[in-house]
Amino acid sequence: MSETKKIQGQNAGSCKIELATIFDKKDPNRSVSVAGGFVEMRYYESILQDGIQASFMFSDAGNSIDGKTVSEGLPLNGGETFKFKAQDNNETTLEFEMIVGNDTNISSETTKSLVILPLSSKAFAVNDTQNVRKFFPKQKISDHVKTLMTDFLKTEKTLDIEETSNTLKEYGLNRKPYYMLNTFAKKAQPSGGEGQTAGYFFFETSEKMIFKSIDSFFDEEKNPRKRSIIYNQGPEKNQVPEGYDYKALTYDRESASKLEMSKMGAFSTASITFDPINFNFKRTVLSTIEDIVENVDEAIKPLTSAAKELATFNPSLIQEFSRTTMNFLDTGAFSETAEGSKENNFDFGGIYNQSIMRYNQVFASKVNILIQGDFELHAGDMIFFDAPSPEEDTKNDEIDKQAGGLYIIASLCHQIKPDKTLTKLCLIRDSFGRQGNHAKR
């Protein structure tokens, strides 16, 4: 982040809206601007959300287009293209093109009405009208992902796809692109992750379509931090401590239940597979901690964690693997020769089990903060966050060594109003303990 883009102090004032236009779905040359009647917009991104979403509220006056309201004159009844562009107070642009779900009047008067537009990404709309009837030959999963994004979702956004190490054959079977992308995410393994980790996230931001491994998000070399933020309630509220970009306006913290994490397989899992070729059953047990249970086939550790220590559970309480999956192998289902009839297409016991464990680890620690509007931030970005240590002396400058450190943005919401712009962030990580320095880039 360059010095010219570095934010200091609290600056949650109004942003500059440059474009807010609805286009007729039948005639793209026919459009109407709703920027003048703007009341509020909320924009959402999440690593658990396939596409971006938003809602736009505006006052629909009787002379908006052809002497009529937007709803009647355009007309507006769902499926229209909505283009938006705005600048925050740091001169960073938020720009997107989305599809109107429907128009909802929440109040009506003789000369105007208040309208809310629910907005979805173009890829989301395309996904509902596409069925994948394609055979995906033996290639890296990342190659299949690129095909789905370009040929089926028809996206024109930048593709941020991390190369996978494992290959896969798959039939489309008339399924939706989003369904297949999320299925591939659970089966993908990053380069260098063999026998150690697996699992990807697929999601969309205003700028990109993203398919990247869980570990890459927590690796600061691959995912450089965007901001260093602090929350404190010291007497000098408007001063930002050295090394931080700005202060959070609100803060709360929560940790995932270790009992629930254990039940969902965050610490130990078992996979039972059935091979229809030879009628063999095989059980594979994986654990994040060595010797938790007897007959553990492999103790796995993530390549990278955000903080010092992964979330753990009391080993004496884990008597056996806590989650079991059962799968039929598709041995020989894709073979074209007799020699390939015994080839196993996918490693359920290893890769699939590893991804289950990793998905249930990444939400071990969660922080929610409210900050000034910052359009440079996106879901998946890395943030360094510090909060004060809870001590008797509330004027102390000690930071919380357990809660502080690196996080990734799990979800964000930009709330834009005529008089202010705010961003709500949900930050997550897989581990505990402050590691690194807030001033280090």
Query: Which numeric CATH code is attached to 3-122?
Result: 2.40.10.10
Task: Provide the token pair at 312.
Answer: 């753990």
Burial of 75-114, coded b for 16+ CB within 10 Å and e otherwise, reads: ebeeebbbebbbbbbbebebebbbbbbebeeeeeeeebbb
**What letters, b where the CB count within 10 A reaches 16 and e where it falls short, cover 233-270?**
eeeeeeebbeebbbbbeebebeebebeebbebbbbbbb
- Between strands 323-328 and 268-275, the pairing is parallel
Q: Indicate the pTM of the whole model.
A: 0.87
Q: Are 303 and 325 in contact (CB under 8 A)?
A: no
For residue range 350-386, list pLDDT tens digits in order.
888 888 888 888 888 899 999 999 999 999 999 999 9
On the question of pLDDT at 341 being above 70, the answer is no
Parallel, antiparallel or unpaired: strands 53-61 and 81-87:
unpaired
Hey, how many other C-beta atoms are within 10 angstroms of the C-beta on 301? Answer: 12
Residue 433 scores a pLDDT above 50: yes
* pLDDT tens-place string over residues 240-267: 888 899 999 999 988 777 777 777 777 7
Per the listing, tokens 């709803």 go with: 71
User: Residue 159: what pLDDT?
Assistant: 97
CA 249/CA 371 separation, integer angstroms: 5
* Res. 5: pLDDT tops 50: no
Q: Which of these, 245, 197, 144, lies nearest to 353 by C-alpha position?
A: 197
pLDDT of residue 438: 78
Give the highest mean pLDDT range of 9-18, 352-361, 376-385, 429-438: 376-385
Q: Which of 47-61, 84-98, 121-135, 390-404 has the lowest mean pLDDT?
A: 390-404
Token match 């956004």: residue? 157
User: Is the pLDDT at 289 greater than 90, yes or no?
Assistant: no
